[in-house]
Structure 1
Amino acid sequence: MPTPTKPPDEDPEKPHYLGHRERLRERFRSAGPDALSDYELLEMALFAALPRRDTKPLAKSLLKKFGSFAEVMHAPETLLREVDGIGEASINQIKLIAAAATRIAKGALPERVSLSSWNDVIGYCRTSQAFADKEQFRILFLDKRNRLIADEVQQTGTIDHTPVYPREVIKRALEVSATAIILVHNHPSGDPSPSQADIQMTRAIVEIAKPLGIAVHDHIIVGRGGHASLKGMKLI
């Protein structure tokens, strides 16, 4: 009597994770990304970098160290390298996804930045800066119809301080013919609450900008814990 042939997924020579990968892909296709947990989405993100390895242990290790999918994507390369089992291919894949997310968020802005699409502005600012390990001071320069003229990181500082010079901010606004600006910076600590120095610096910029016909629409501070609007808090 002939020996029954085993189904392919029962082949002892076939790595166990291949069936798991196909099931994840099928769930992603049929139910969408919201049906996957952070570690499952991260597993899938690492498939291309690790085609011959089970990516689940690495995905779980990354989440244990950094806390969330977004924090893994924006983690500094030096810290990523501390995770056991990660290599250059995985780091490149993670940074590619982070860059793609930022590019997509930025792409939504040029035709849509206005006070009526504030969620787009907040989303872009958080995607770009909320998980950075150093403070960055960014300026969104707008025309009279609140369309984006330029988006520039003016200063990068340390883990808790960025030097900002109000006159340089306004000088650059005049150079690009902006009639309004949105100031943005991040707090690597995760807490977006404005410091007294943040408030004083913003008021100094407002004071210089006003006589020149340049409006400061807001100063947004982003962090892992959310965002703060100085305008919304009635601090400017």
Structure 2
Amino acid sequence: MRRHPDQVAEAPLPGFDVTRPVRLPRKPSKNVGVEAHRKAHRDRLRARFTEGGSDAVPDYELLEMILYRALPRGDTKPLAKALLKQFGDLNHVLAAPPARLKDVTGVGDRVVFELKLMEAVGHRMARARVMKKPILSSWDALLDYCQTAMAHRELEQFRVLFLDRKNVLIADEAQQTGTVDHVPVYPREVVKRALELNASALILVHNHPSGDPTPSQADMDMTNAIRDAAEVLGLVIHDHLIIGKARELSFRAEGYL
């Protein structure tokens, strides 16, 4: 297009390119500071744990570190404290059912996965101390394992430990899971499974979510029914353990068996 004779073009000032937009410097993002603070906090926690072990950090900080993998960019401290407030202690957090965990704001599938993974690792470590070993000479380790696996469950679970002729633990199986105060047990299925495994002796174990391991009449009747069925087939019932939150009860030690 032609410029009108009366129009005068204004020359640009030296050093300025009017064809390019001028970009002003951006202000630092607040997220940068937050991320730096979070990373520093995590680094301090890791260093304290590395140098001092588990005794150097309280439960909520252990739980924070467990949650790092599930929430790599999130602030895990408030969630760790919320979980402990909801369930009471670290053991109960790890043992809580997935549905109950998800009732806590901030808990999704990834958090549940990490918590259940840590629970499984703890069980496997305790179990390794008793599997394929003479149980009667490793009794304290057996009690520790039962406490780890069962003391913090919210529902009753019935397990059977199957032993060979040398009283070596050859299998540990959860037979049934029930309600908060009852678990169905079928003596015929227990002895049938013992025969399948070629076991010679059994130890029965179940938990009381109430925390009190005192046996009920139903516990007594169930134990006697299994003992009677086992004796017919030449199987020995060494004991029936009831696991409470702080202690366990042995039918054998209490004279019930």
Shorter-normalised TM range = 0.7 to 0.9
State the partner residue of 2:54: 33
Letter aligned with residue 248 of structure 2:
H
- Output aligned runs, 1:46-195, within 5 Å: 46-195=67-216
Note if contact 1:113-1:120 (Cα within 8 Å) is conserved in structure 2: no
State the partner residue of 1:17: 38
Note if contact 1:114-1:145 (Cα within 8 Å) is conserved in structure 2: no
Partner of 1:48, secondary structure, is coil
Partner of 2:141, secondary structure, is helix
Deviation at residue 132 of structure 1 after TM alignment = 2.3
Quick one: distance in 2 between partners of 1:97 and 1:136? 20
State the partner residue of 1:5: none
Task: List runs of 5+ in structure 2 lacking aligned partners.
Answer: 1-31
Partner of 2:92, secondary structure, is helix
Quick one: distance in 2 between partners of 1:15 and 1:198? 57
Sequence identity, in percent?
53
RMSD: 1.8
Deviation at residue 199 of structure 1 after TM alignment = 1.6
Computing the radius of gyration over CA atoms, which structure comes out larger, 1 or 2?
Answer: 2
Quick one: distance in 2 between partners of 1:166 and 1:90? 38
Letter aligned with residue 171 of structure 2:
A
Quick one: distance in 1 between partners of 2:185 and 2:74? 47
Letter aligned with residue 42 of structure 2:
R
Return the TM-score normalized by structure 2. 0.81
Return the TM-score normalized by structure 1. 0.88
Letter aligned with residue 76 of structure 1:
P
Deviation at residue 225 of structure 1 after TM alignment = 3.2
Quick one: distance in 1 between partners of 2:34 and 2:230? 70
Partner of 1:164, secondary structure, is coil
Partner of 1:140, secondary structure, is strand
Return the match for 1:208 from 216, 229, 244: 229
Task: List runs of 5+ in structure 1 lacking aligned partners.
Answer: 1-10
Quick one: distance in 1 between partners of 2:200 and 2:35? 63
Return the match for 2:248 from 208, 227, 232: 227
Partner of 2:36, secondary structure, is coil
Letter aligned with residue 27 of structure 1:
R
Q: How many residues align?
A: 226
Matched, 1:198 2:219: yes
Deviation at residue 133 of structure 1 after TM alignment = 2.6
Note if contact 2:130-2:138 (Cα within 8 Å) is conserved in structure 1: no
Quick one: distance in 1 between partners of 2:34 and 2:215? 58
Is the alpha carbon distance of 1:12 and 1:137 closer, same or farther for their aligned partners in structure 2, counting shifts above 3 Å? closer
